[in-house]
Each structure stands twice: as structure tokens, then as C-alpha cells.
Amino acid sequence: MLERIDTIVIGAGQAGLSASACLTDAGIDHVVLERGAVAERWRNERWASLKLLTPNWMTRLPGHVYDGNDPDGYMHKDEVTSFLSQYAQRIAAPIRSQAPVHSVVQDGVGFRVDSEAGTFRARCVIVATGACDQAAIPSWASRLSPRFQQITTRDYIHAGIHAGQVAPGGVLVVGASATGVQLAEELRHAGHDVTIAAGRHMPLPRTYRGRDIMNWLDEMGTLSEPRNHGVSNVRTLHHPSLQLIGSLPRRDISLDSLARMDVRPVSRVLGAEGGKLLLSGDLKSQIEMAAERRNALLSQIDSHIESNHLMAPAHRAVPTSHLVANRHETLDLDRAGIRTIVWATGFRRDYSWLNVPVLNAHGEIRETGGVTTIPGLYALGLPFMRRRNSAFIDGVGQDAREITQHLAAYIGAPQLSKAA
């Protein structure tokens, strides 16, 4: 049976729930289709010890903010799941769970959506499936010998040698983002010999001049910086990976802190064959550029403090890295004792079910601020979609409000009302 409705929202994570709250406020009839349960990725596709990088006070969604007794702490991933589940209940989101979408096609001036919850005809569709869909593993990974275990951050759960997920022996973590450095540290604590391959990155102090670094970035408007849509996706999204950890007591994490634990840093991996990896050999220059980027940001904070006459402890110089990185052009996995490779190389989106001519050559949705090239089709929750924090829990709400305003104006058009 065909069910008619104004809008279908696909995904019940922070983006989809924010959209639902805004659509309800606007009086727009809608259904949220979720392939699993609310916050499915937080619930089942995050490693066991994960905590947010942002303080709890930054956990803000339309009509629902953190109100616990630890505003300066960092939510564990299970607490995020609980927070989003409570949010879904508070806004009475019309969610159909265990309802993966099989197909979205254009149907006249609207869309036909086929799912496990039935078939819908909707005027509009908001794709809110998130930024962290499928692990982005380089194509040449298939040329590695099958004797090496390969795990993605989507499937990684815990590091314990006796837990059975990570094989005994050395581990190579590919990628030095916040995820990569945290997993390298966790694996080392679990008793593994760990090597980490690092490219462009940016180590940040957890606290600076008396505040959490995120407090400064929030106050300065850095995180809510609007996107310049005149700049290509490649340039906009090619930002260095932050090295940061949410922990109490607060502490820093970086290649230096890992090296002090006897984690071996190497440069970027460019290719593989059998049991050998080709490395870029530019780790030293990457470390130097990372320090320049970090110092530039800290200087902006200093200028903000001075220009606004704020009370803050005196500037404390961030220690210079003493990590000496030798030039390596190859890494022999067998000789290094490495048995497992953990891919912390980011994510790509899978829109195989989106049968609408809206994808570019890279398989990503063509959109400007979430408004796609197909009238009535929207995206939400993608990195730097409208502003720097578009994919954050703290940033997706404002994007959802603006997308809803655009959608409301669209379905209110006289020509659409006559055709519906």
C-alpha cells in the first residue's frame, strides 16, 4: 500500500532527529526511516571506549541540550546513544525503526521511497544518513597478503589481546586523526607493539590558557564559520586531522605522546604489495607543518583574548616536538612484526539506494548547503555542509533549521500544491 506524506527523513541519528524536530515545529507531516534503532551508528558501529571530543555543554540539538551534572566532561558513546534516544522521545519523532531504505526514485514532482516499512510517496526527502557510512579503505589494500588481518574503525570494538578481535602481534594504525591516535594508544596499553602511519595532522592542546580548546573555538565562532560555497569540496574538506582526546583528567595526545609509549610513527602509506608498504617518507615535514598550523590557531586565540580584554592565564608555550622521524620509503610488515592493520582513514558515503541523478563522479551528493540539484531533495549532516561544524552534534541543529525553512517554502509553492 502506498502511503503519502509531505517529507521522508532517512536516518535517525543526530541529523535526522534534528530535522524531525524542526519539521514538527514547522507543522510539516513527515516520517523518519531508520535502518536499525535510534542512533544506530553510536550504538553498534563505534569502538567501546569512544568519547566525544567536545565537552558535554556543547551537546546541543534543537529543543534539547545537555543538562547533566558534568558539563565539562566528555560523553561516552553509550551516553550519546542515550541522549539521542531521549531526544527522539522528547520530540515524539515519528520513527519507523528497522526500516532500511531500498530505493528512492523521482515520481512526478515528488519521490517514491521503498523501504522495509512500506512504500511512500513524498514531496520531499531529507537524506540524513550521516558522514560516517562506509570505511574508506584505499583500493590498493587488496594487494596486501591475506595473512595480515585488516580491521576498519567501523568494525573495531576493543584492543584486548585476549578478547579475540585483534590478533596477537604488532599492529599498524593507518591514519593519525583523533581516531587513529586514540586507537594507537589503546592498542599499546593492551600490550601490542604499535606503529602509526601519519599524514597531514594537527595536534591541539586539550586546554589552553585556562579553558578547554573547544571553548575558545566556540566563543571565537571558528566552529560555526560559514562555508564558502565558491570553494570546491576538495579544498574545503581537505583539512588536517585533529589530534585530540576527550578524557578526564584532561590530557593531550599526539605523535609525541605516543612515541613516549614506544609507538613507532612512520609517514603516509602510498601503496602495498604482499607484505610491504610504500611510504611517502615525509613525516618530518608533516610534523613541522602540523606545529605551524597549531601555533597559528593558538595565536588567533591569543589575539581574541587581547582584543576582547578577557581574563585568562598567561600564554604558555606549547612544547616543540622532539620526535626525530627517520626517512623510510618502505615498511616490511613481517620484519616489523605487524600482523594487523587498522584502517583509520576516514569514511565515504554509500548511496547505492539513491536512484536519483544527484551523485557526482565520486559518488557524493551534489548539493549547496544541503540543497541538492534535484528540487525537493535535501542532505543533512555532511562535513562542512553549511558551516565548519555541520557534521557535529553541536552544529547540525542550525543546518536543520535552515534546511527546514527552505523545504517549507518549497512545498508551499502554488504549483506544487496544485500538483500534490
pTM metric for this prediction: 0.92
Q: Where are the beta strands (DSSP E) in 82-130?
A: 95-96, 101-107, 110-115, 118-127
CATH superfamily, with its number, for domain 2-133+349-419: FAD/NAD(P)-binding domain (3.50.50.60)
pLDDT in tens, 189-205: 999 999 999 999 999 99
Q: What is the pLDDT of residues 92-115, one digit of tens each?
A: 999 999 999 999 999 999 999 999
Q: CA-CA distance, 334 to 275, in Å (whole number)?
A: 7
CA distances from 338 to 140, 179, 181, 332, 333 (A): 18, 20, 17, 9, 5
Residue in the block written with cell 524531525: 20
- Tell me how crowded residue 390 is: count the other CB atoms within 10 A of its CB: 24
Cβ 342 vs Cβ 153: under 8 Å: yes
Q: What three-state secondary structure class fits 142?
A: helix
Question: pLDDT by residue for the chain (420 residues), tens digit each?
Answer: 799 999 999 999 999 999 999 999 999 999 999 999 999 999 999 999 999 999 999 999 999 999 999 999 999 999 999 999 999 999 999 999 999 999 999 999 999 999 999 999 999 999 999 888 889 999 999 999 999 999 999 889 976 544 568 999 999 999 999 999 999 999 999 999 999 999 999 999 999 999 999 999 999 999 999 987 666 555 445 567 789 999 999 999 999 999 999 999 999 999 999 999 999 999 999 999 999 999 999 999 999 999 999 999 997 777 777 776 656 689 999 999 999 999 999 999 999 999 999 999 999 999 999 999 999 999 999 999 999 999 999 999 999 999 999 999 999 833 333 333
Domain ranges of the chain: 2-133+349-419, 136-343
For residues 244 and 263, give the distance between their C-alpha atoms in angstroms, rounded to a whole number: 17
